[in-house]
């Protein structure tokens, strides 16, 4: 009996520890968002830094976003095509693919791949600056690290991911049309018409809205993990690994929340 | 002499680890105060509290009478224009060239033109003995030796003509000639710019050479504060053991 009690206590203590650190982590992320909004959104807005990071985070992620979007468009169209052939409805392939790609797969796949790349890059860079005391040096020179380092990265990530999602939607549509035409003998122009016909503006907006939130999340997690890196080069590696996990879990959790919000609307 | 920085009854802990307990220390105007003590005891923490990078859990840290923990964002910004810090590894910004590193505070706090910032950066580099090669301004920190990085860090700290410079282990990892050079630089800046200096170091020859007073951190406070001569001739066993590098029995 006492062993059972002891085990139960240990389990509860472990669960409590995980919950406490989880809430602490979420609280830290919220605090960082608050600080960045209050201290960053003031003149000068750091437009040059924001554009620098948009190039660094967004433009340099174009090849990855291109490859991911092409393949997700092809794979999903092929899967739907196979399923629809069984019902003798292969001509509906455009209708079936469009909603899943625009509302769900393109934003989520890009956030999971390109977003994780952005977040880990931020964590590694800020983590290295933290362990080499460069962040303290910025503060000691009278500048604000939140304004100088966090604000431009957050804004850049928040803008870059939806722009990449727009590009990804175009490519997913194009690659889906190729599969429809070549594999299922559904003309590409018919695929295009049915694809676009199925979509309402709210579908585009829900996809883009998700990308904006995912971008913000990616920026927040990447920066927070970097700023909370402990001392030593090993700590940078640990933070970066944790960022991948945190980004993936947060994006999928947030996707569920956003889907419950957006679905009734669209 | 008046105290420019005062730490009164300071307590500071990180989790279960208590770094300071009822600690008192005063830095007087125009002096060079050297802080010595064992590794990992919290000497750098003391400096970071002086410049508001860390805050005391208990007690007061005052700069010219103003409580540092009560300063708002603008107050801290003003404090950091008067108090500069040279970090242990230099902490130069990897993504910026030497000109932008040295001129960082000028870009941040003044409306000086680019040419004027370049001229001032060059002047500061010249003061720390790096004025021979004009091409240095365009070089990146990664291309510099350890000694040069520390001197560039000192040049960066004096760009805004601060009243106080905090040196965090400025001689660590340097060869004897560079250690001597950094020591000379601390003396030169005190003499030419009239700055008050606080130096954290393990290097006793440097401590004896540059200091007006030495404070030894021992058991979470500063029980021993004296002149270099006083330290050299002390009969206090803890101090003698430390400066002569002796290990206590059983330690």
* CA A195 – CA A172 distance, rounded (Å): 11
Task: Render chain A in DSSP notation, one character per residue.
Answer: -HHHHHHHHHHHHHHHHHHHHHHHHHHHHHHHHHHHHHHHSSSS--HHHHHHHHHHHTGGGHHHHHHHHHHHHHHHHHHHHHHHHHTT-GGGHHHHHHHIIIIIIHHHHHIIIIIHHHHHHHHHHHHHHHHTTHHHHHHHTT--HIIIIIHHHHHHHHHHHHHHHHHHHHHHHHHHHHHHHHHH---HHHHHHHHHHH--HHHHHHHHHHHHHHHHHHHHHHHHHHHT--SSHHHHHHHHHHHHHHHHHHHHHHHHHHHHHHHHH-
CB spacing of A137 vs B87 below 8 angstroms:
yes
Q: What percent of chain B has pLDDT over 70?
A: 98
Residues 6+ positions from A248 with CB-CB distance below 8 Å: A112, A116
pLDDT of residue B250: 44
Q: Return the structure tokens found at B124.
A: 């500061």
Phi and psi angles of residue B131, each rounded to the nearest 5 degrees, phi first: -95, 10
CB B194 within 8 A of CB B30: yes
Identify which of A128, A133, A142 has the shortest CB distance to residue B77.
Answer: A142
Per residue in A177-197, pLDDT (tens digit) is 999 999 999 999 999 999 998
pLDDT in tens, B118-155: 999 999 999 998 988 888 999 999 999 988 999 999 99
* Cα-trace Rg, chain A: 22
| Residue A231: alpha-carbon gap to chain centroid | 27
Q: For each of the domains in chain B, give its residue range(s) and CATH number, in order of start.
A: 30-56+73-243 (3.40.50.300)
pLDDT computed for residue B247 by the predictor = 64
The reported pLDDT for the residue numbered B251 is 44
Roughly how many angstroms between the first and final C-alpha of chain B, as a whole number? 39
Cβ neighbours of residue A180 under 8 Å, at least 6 residues apart?
A77, A81, A93, A94, A186, A187, A188, A191
Q: Which of A40, A127, A140, A152 to mutate to test the interface with B (most CBs of B within 10 A)?
A: A140
pLDDT digits (tens, 9 = 90+) for B39-77: 888 999 999 999 999 999 999 999 999 999 999 988 999
H or E element at residue B63: strand B58-63
Measured between CB atoms, which of B77, B81, B91 is closest to A137? B91
ipTM of the complex: 0.90
Tell me the C-alpha distance between A220 and A158, whole Å. 10
Give me the pLDDT at residue A1, please.
56
Domain range summary for chain A, segments of one domain joined by +: 35-265
Give the rounded distance of the alpha carbon of B139 from its chain centre.
25
B207 and B199 in contact (C-beta within 8 Å)? yes
Residue B248: DSSP 8-state: P
Amino acid A63: pLDDT: 95
Torsion sign (Cα): A29, A245, A123, A215: negative
Mean predicted confidence (pLDDT) in B66-89: 93
Of B53, B73, B109, the CB nearest to A140: B53
Q: What is the CA radius of gyration of chain B?
A: 18
DSSP one-letter string for B19-60: EEEEEEEEEETT-EEEEEE-TTSSHHHHHHHHTTSS--SEEE
| Omega within 30 of 0 (cis) for the link into A44 | yes
CB pair distance less than 8 Å for B51 and A133: no
A contacts of B156 (beta carbons < 8 Å): 141
* β pairing state of B213-218 and B32-37: parallel
Confidence at residue B244, expressed as pLDDT on a 0 to 100 scale? 83
The alpha-carbon gap from B183 to the nearest alpha carbon of chain A, in Å, equals 22
Confidence of residue B97 (pLDDT cuts 50, 70, 90): very high
- Strands laid side by side in the B164-168 sheet: B83-86, B164-168, B196-200, B32-37, B213-218, B221-226
Q: Do B91 and A142 touch (CB under 8 A)?
A: no
| Residue of A128, A134, A143 lying closest to B108 (CB–CB) | A143
The size of the A-B interface in CB pairs under 8 A is 53
Neighbours of A19 (CB within 10 A): 10
Neighbouring CB atoms inside 10 A of A46's CB total: 17
Task: Indicate if the pLDDT at residue B1 is higher than 80.
Answer: no
Q: How many CA atoms lie within 13 A of B34 on its CB side?
A: 26
Whether the pLDDT of residue B106 is over 50: the answer is yes
Structure tokens, B236:
């206090």
Q: Is B196 helix (H, G, I), strand (E, B) or coil?
A: strand
A133 close contact with B: CB closer than 8 A: yes
Residues in chain A with pLDDT values less than 70 = 1, 264-266
Q: A142 and B81: CB-CB below 8 Å?
A: yes
String of DSSP letters for B120-174: HHHHHHHHTT--S-GGGGGS-GGGS-HHHHHHHHHHHHHTT--SEEEEESTTTT-
Helix (H) or strand (E) holding B185: helix B176-193
């Amino acid at each position: 009996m006492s062993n059972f009690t002891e085990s139960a206590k240990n389990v509860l203590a472990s669960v409590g520890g995980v919950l406490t650190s989880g809430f602490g982590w979420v609280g830290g992320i919220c605090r960082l968002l608050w600080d960045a909004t209050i201290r960053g959104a003031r003149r000068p807005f750091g437009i040059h830094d924001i554009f620098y990071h948009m190039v660094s985070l967004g433009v340099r992620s174009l090849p990855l976003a291109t490859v991911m979007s092409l393949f997700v468009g092809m794979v999903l169209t092929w899967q739907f095509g196979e399923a629809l052939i069984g019902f003798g409805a292969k001509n509906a392939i455009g209708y079936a693919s469009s909603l899943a790609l625009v509302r769900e797969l393109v934003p989520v796949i890009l956030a999971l791949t390109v977003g994780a790349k952005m977040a880990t890059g931020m964590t590694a860079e800020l983590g290295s600056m933290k362990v080499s005391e460069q962040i303290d040096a910025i503060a000691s020179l009278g500048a604000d690290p939140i304004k100088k380092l966090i604000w431009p990265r957050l804004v850049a990530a928040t803008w870059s991911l939806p722009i990449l999602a727009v590009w990804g939607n175009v490519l997913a549509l194009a690659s889906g049309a190729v599969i429809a035409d070549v594999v299922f003998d559904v003309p590409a122009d018919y695929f295009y018409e049915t694809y676009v016909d199925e979509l309402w503006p709210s579908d585009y907006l829900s996809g883009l809205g998700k990308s904006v939130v995912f971008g913000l999340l990616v920026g927040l997690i990447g920066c927070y993990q970097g700023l909370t890196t402990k001392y030593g080069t090993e700590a940078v590696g640990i933070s970066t690994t944790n960022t991948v996990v945190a980004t993936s879990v947060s994006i999928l959790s947030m996707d569920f929340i956003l889907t419950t919000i957006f679905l009734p609307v669209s | 002499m008046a105290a420019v920085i005062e730490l009164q009854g300071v307590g500071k802990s990180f989790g279960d680890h208590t770094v300071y307990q009822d600690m008192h220390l005063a830095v007087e105007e125009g002096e060079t105060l050297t802080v010595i003590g064992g590794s990992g005891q919290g000497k750098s923490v003391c400096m970071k509290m002086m410049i508001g990078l860390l805050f005391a859990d208990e007690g007061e840290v005052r700069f010219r009478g103003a409580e540092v923990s009560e300063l708002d964002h603008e107050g801290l910004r003003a404090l950091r224009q008067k108090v500069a810090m040279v970090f242990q590894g230099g902490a130069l910004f990897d993504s910026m060239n030497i000109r932008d590193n040295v001129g960082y505070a000028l870009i941040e706090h003044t409306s000086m033109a680019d040419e004027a910032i370049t001229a001032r950066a060059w002047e500061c580099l010249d003061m720390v003995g790096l004025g021979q090669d004009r091409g240095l301004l365009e070089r990146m920190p990664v291309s510099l030796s350890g000694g040069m990085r520390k001197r560039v860090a000192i040049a960066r700290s004096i760009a805004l003509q601060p009243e106080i410079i905090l040196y965090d282990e400025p001689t660590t990892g340097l060869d004897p000639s560079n250690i001597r050079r950094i020591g000379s630089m601390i003396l030169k800046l005190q003499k030419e710019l009239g700055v008050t200096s606080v130096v954290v170091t393990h290097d006793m020859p440097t401590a004896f050479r540059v200091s007006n007073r030495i404070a030894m951190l021992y058991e979470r406070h500063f029980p021993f504060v004296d002149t270099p001569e006083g330290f050299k001739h002390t009969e206090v066993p803890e101090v003698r053991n430390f400066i002569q590098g002796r290990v206590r029995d059983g330690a």
